[in-house]
Every structure is written in structure tokens, then in C-alpha cells.
Structure 1
Amino acid sequence: MPSTYSRTDLYAEVQQFYARQMQLLDGGAFEAYAETFTEDGEFRHTPGREPARTRAGISAELHEFHKRFDDDPVQRRHWFGMMNLEPQDDDTIRATVYALVVTTRPGGKPAIAPSCVVYDVLVWEDGELFNRSRRVEHDQLFGSAAAAS
């Protein structure tokens, strides 16, 4: 964290980072979303699957994941809240965030699925925030063997 930042400034900066990042994801801009990660970034969002690594790998993973919606007109919105930020001595930030994915289909009512906890390591590079790693844990797997993987 830049030494001139207060906790309030940091919170606002990370909140803005997440707002931009989630809007890229929800808008299908997967390459731009992947660019919010460090070049060697790691992204694990689906239980039981290996994490995607590197920006190219993250983009490819998202394209593959979203093929399931090709014949399903759906709008998904990721909502991040209850953000806890823990600046580390190595200038990284450990962020724990509650995430809800709101899914809406034409003429339907919004449904929340899944509910998750997101564990991020954020880093500053040239004055800009990036994700070094993201691990998403799905609440519906609480207590199951899949949650431990």
C-alpha cells in the first residue's frame, strides 16, 4: 500500500478495483478481466478444478466456463461486500470478501447462486492494483469434501 494511504483510502481504492473488475467479468470482457491479474496470476473459481494460471490461462478458463451459457440467455452480476483488508509486511493486501452471484433470465426473477467467500492477494505494480491470486470458496459446499480441495 502506498505509504500516503490511510485505511479509508485503501478501502476506497480496493472497492473501486473490484467494481471495475466485476463489471468487466459480467460484461464478458474476459481478456480485460484477466489483465486485472498479475502476469503470473492464479485464479480458482470452480470447486474441483485446477486453478487457471497466467493472464492467458485465466482468459481461456473464463471463455471455457461461460460456454455453458451459450444457449441460455442469462445475465450474471457479481456483488462483493463485507470486504476485509489486511495489509501485509511485504506490501501485499490479503482481502476476504463475501460474493453473491445474481443470475437473471429474461422474464424471470433474480436468483442468488452461488454465495461465496473470495480470498485474494492484491499487489501494487507501478501504482496500480492487481490480483496475484484469487480463491473462491462456494458456500453450498460447506463441510463437504469438495470444499477442502
Structure 2
Amino acid sequence: MTTTTGGHAAVPTDLYLRVQHFYAHQMQHLDSGRFEEYAATFTEDGEFQHSPGARPARTRPGIVRELVAFHERFENDPVQRRHWFNHIALELREDGTVSSTAYALVVNVRPGGKPDITRSCVVHDILVDGPEGVRLRSRRVTHDEG
């Protein structure tokens, strides 16, 4: 079975489901501070740019370093961050990779507080579906607020 959308090439339904499963586990790694597990969801030469204008982190160790450095600023803040992916649009590319565009909300919650949507983003991924399963070759995140 394939999933089709107006004007876009068909994407096998099982691939779409595997990508959703991949994202669910990947974001749980990130939100739990398991940065090495998160980085392992990238290809060895993966590239990750989480903030517009920032230099992309490259390779799994580079991604871990970037995430550790980024999260140091929250070291004394009991914030729990949740990344919510939705409206995932996949397109098969001629080179065999998969282009994914997803909307993402970043929700922060502090003890005794209410959830606060702190960021609205569009996530632009290039995915590889291989023997290890789905892996990210590159991720570029754009922020809606500029």
C-alpha cells in the first residue's frame, strides 16, 4: 500500500509508519537528555542545525557536543522540554533518500507551571532507510518567528 498526496509521489505506507516511529523515539531520546542515543539516530556523517544562522554540527560526536553545550544553559533550570512533531510530509528523492518536512512545537514545563509553547518550527530532514533502519543524514530547523 502507498500513501499519496495531491501532486506528490506515492510514499509506501510502511515507510511513513517507520518514519513516525523513528521520530517518536528520537524525540524521546532528546527530551530525556540522552544525547548519544539521539545522535545515533543520524548517519555517521550526519549534519544537525537546530537554530537558524548557527553552524551545523557534523558527525555523531559533533552532534553530542552541540547538544551538551546548548543544554548547559538550562543546568540550573528544572524545565522539561517536549518536542512535538506533526504534519509529516515525506517525498521520495531520486537518489533513494527521503525528504521529510514536519511542523514542530517545543513545549516547556516547569514544576508547578503550565505548559508553554516556546517555539514553532519547521523541520527539514533528509532520511536514509537502510539496514540499520531509518537514519538522519541532515536536519535543518527553521523557526517561524524569524
> Fold-level match, TM-score > 0.5?
yes
- Give the letter aligned to residue 13 of structure 1: R
| Cα separation, 1, equivalents of 2:18 and 2:59 | 24
Structure 2 partner of 1:144: none
- What's the C-alpha RMSD, in Å, of the aligned pairs? 1.3
Which residue number in structure 1 is paired with residue 139 of structure 2? 134
Q: How far did residue 18 of structure 1 move?
A: 0.2
Q: What letter is aligned with 2:114?
A: K
Q: Secondary structure at the residue paired with 1:140?
A: coil
CA distance in 2: counterparts of 1:28 and 1:11, whole angstroms? 26
Identity %: 61
SS of match in other structure, 1:23: helix
Q: Alignment length, in residue pairs?
A: 137
User: Would you tell me which structure has more helix in proportion to its own residues?
Assistant: 1
Structure 1 gap segments, 5+ residues each? 1-5, 142-149
**Which of 60, 67, 74 matches 2:65?**
60
**Partner of 2:99 in structure 1?**
94
| Alpha-carbon displacement from aligned partner over 1:86-133 (angstroms, at most 9, x marks no partner) | 011211000000000110001111000110000000002315110000
Query: 1:5-39 CA distances to partner (integer Å, 9 max, x unpaired)?
Result: x6221111100000000000000000110000000
Aligned with 2:54 (options 49, 53, 64): 49
Q: Which has the higher strand share?
A: 2
Q: Identify the match of residue 118 of structure 1 among 114, 117, 123.
A: 123
Q: Choose which of 19, 36, 40 in structure 1 pairs with 2:45.
A: 40
Distance in 1, matches of 2:16 and 2:52, equals 28
Runs of 4 or more, structure 1, over 2 Å off, are none
- Confirm or deny that 1:15 pairs with 2:15: no
Task: Give the letter for the 1:53 counterpart.
Answer: R
Q: What's the TM-score, normalizing by structure 1? A: 0.89
